[in-house]
Amino acid sequence: MIYNAPVGEVIGQRFAASFLLLAGAWLLSGFFGILLGLCAGRYLNRWPDRLICRFAYLLASLPTFWVGLLLLALFAVHWPLLPVCCAWTPGLSADEADWAMRARHLLLPVTTLALLGVGNIALHTRERVAEVLASDFIRYARAQGDGGWPMLRFHVLRHALTPAICLQFASLGELIGGSLLAEKVFSYPGLGQATVDAGLRGDIPLLMGIVLFCTLLVFLGNTAARVLLARINRGWEGEHAV
């Protein structure tokens, strides 16, 4: 109704714009969340752990729109380093926008969305690393002379990384929900902004289509997490059997 186009066509066009935003935020939140969690678990109950935990709790409690507005105020208004809005410079067509321009316009919304997921991944990874470091096989590895970051890399990482990756796949729903507000704050022409516009202007067919599409994405993310976890568990059981 509001776009004068079929629902499937609107969803396809808007999701194509949102894909880079969601994929970039998903990868960044997973990378930095796991990295911070490893560091916090490695230095459990010491100052790096306390600092990372406070930072993670802060990120987990901040609303998306507030983070977006703060980044806009800092890096687009106070220090005009990045664009204020849109997927490319207003007045240009999509064909005239190069990849460098698109990347600059993606930086702030991607950072906003990535900060949403860093806290949960970091806290989850920290707990898993602390649990693994307290296990018997780590004590045995230390008794053989292993220690420091090499031990963390070869013995701890493989056991702590899998649950974090599964959680990352399962967090697609939270990421999609955060994109609704992030895209609206940055006027980014993606699926999130189309959802908000459809809700505010009463475009029920489009809203229902987007909800069904997002439900499918969340289902695929949860299924991928379950399949990945089951495969890795079978691999570990095979190793222990040998």
Q: Which residues lie below 8 Å from residue 76, measured CB to CB, with a gap of 6+?
A: 82, 83, 84, 108
Tokens of 3: 């776009």
210: pLDDT strictly greater than 50: yes
**pLDDT score, position 157:** 77
d(CA 131, CA 128): 5
| pLDDT at 86 exceeding the cut of 90 | no
Q: What mean pLDDT, rounded, does the chain reach?
A: 82
148: left (phi over 0), alpha (psi -120 to 50) or beta: left
pTM above 0.85, yes or no: no
Nearest to 23 by CA among 120, 168, 215: 168
Please give the Cα distance from 151 to 137 (Å, whole number): 11
Give the pLDDT confidence of 126-178 residue by residue, as tens digits. 888 888 888 777 777 777 776 667 777 777 777 777 777 778 887 887 888 88
- Of the candidates 19, 9, 187, the one whose C-alpha atom is nearest the C-alpha of residue 90 is 187
One CATH from 1.10.3720.10, 3.30.565.10, 3.30.1360.30, 3.40.30.10 for 7-241: 1.10.3720.10
pLDDT digits (tens, 9 = 90+) for 176-195: 888 888 888 888 888 888 88
What is the reported pLDDT for 242? 47
Residue 240: per-residue pLDDT: 47
The amino acid sitting at 135 is S
Two tokens at 49? 């752990």
**Band of pLDDT at residue 235, cut at 50, 70 and 90:** low
Q: What is the mean pLDDT of residues 235-242?
A: 52
Residues of the chain with pLDDT > 70: what percent? 90
Q: Which two tokens stand for residue 70?
A: 């703060």
Q: Which of 128, 105, 109, 226 is nearest to 175 (CA)?
A: 109
Delimit the domains of the chain by residue range: 7-241
Give me the pLDDT at residue 53, please: 92
From CA 157, how far away is CA 149, in angstroms rounded? 10
Q: What is the pLDDT of residue 50?
A: 93
How far apart (Å, rounded) are the C-alpha atoms in residues 188 and 180?
10
pLDDT of residue 170: 77
Q: What is the pLDDT of residues 23-62, one digit of tens each?
A: 899 999 989 998 999 888 888 889 999 999 999 999 888 8
CA distance 65 to 49: 28
H-state helical runs in the chain? 7-42, 47-61, 64-72, 99-133, 136-143, 148-151, 157-170, 172-185, 191-200, 204-241
pLDDT value of residue 54: 93
Task: Count Cα atoms within 13 angstroms, Cβ side, for 146.
Answer: 16
The token pair at 184 is: 């609206």
Distance of CA 4 to the CA centre of its chain: 32
pLDDT at 162: 76
Sequence letter at residue 70 = L
Note the pLDDT of residue 233. Answer: 64
